Amino acid sequence: MKIAVLANGVWDVEWGKQVLKEVDFLICADGGANYAALSGGMPNLVIGDLDSILPENLNQCAKAGCVIEQYPCEKDETDLELALLRAEEQARFVGQTDIWLYGATGKRIDHFLGNLALMLAYARKGYTIRMADPEQELWILQGREEIRRSLGQELSLIALSEQAIVTTEGLRYPLQQDVLFQESPRGVSNVFLGEEAVIQVHEGWVLVVLPRNAGMV
Domain ranges of the chain: 3-134, 140-211
Which residues face 67 on adjacent strands?
45
* Max intra-chain CA distance, the chain: 56
- Asked if the model's pLDDT at residue 209 lies above 70, the reply is yes
DSSP 8-state code for residue 93:
H
What is the model's pLDDT at position 34?
Answer: 97
- Asked if the model's pLDDT at residue 214 lies above 80, the reply is no
Q: For 99-122, what is the mean pLDDT?
A: 94
Q: For 119-139, what is the mean pLDDT?
A: 96
What is the model's pLDDT at position 215?
Answer: 35
Classified by CATH at the fold level, domain 140-211 comes out as Jelly Rolls (2.60.120)
Which residues face 69 on adjacent strands?
47
Reduce the secondary structure of the chain to three states and give it as a string. Answer: CCEEEECCCCCCHHHHHHHHHCCCEEEEECCHHHHHHHCCCCCCEEEECCCCCCHHHHHHHHHCCCEEEECCCCCCCCHHHHHHHHHHHHHHHHCCCEEEEECCCCCCHHHHHHHHHHHHHHHHCCCEEEEECCCEEEEEEEEEEEEECCCCCEEEEEECCCEEEEEEECECCCCCCEEEECCCCCCCCEEECCCEEEEEEEEEEEEEEEECCCCCC
Instruction: Convert the pLDDT of each residue in 4-32 to its tens digit.
Output: 999 999 999 999 999 999 999 999 999 99
Task: Determine whether domain 3-134 maps to CATH 1.10.3720.10.
Answer: no
- Please report, for residues 1, 32, 50, the alpha-carbon distance to residue 73 in angstroms, rounded to integers and kept in the order given: 32, 16, 8
Q: For 95-119, what is the mean pLDDT?
A: 93
Q: How far is CA 44 from the centre of its chain?
A: 18
What is the model's pLDDT at position 49?
Answer: 95
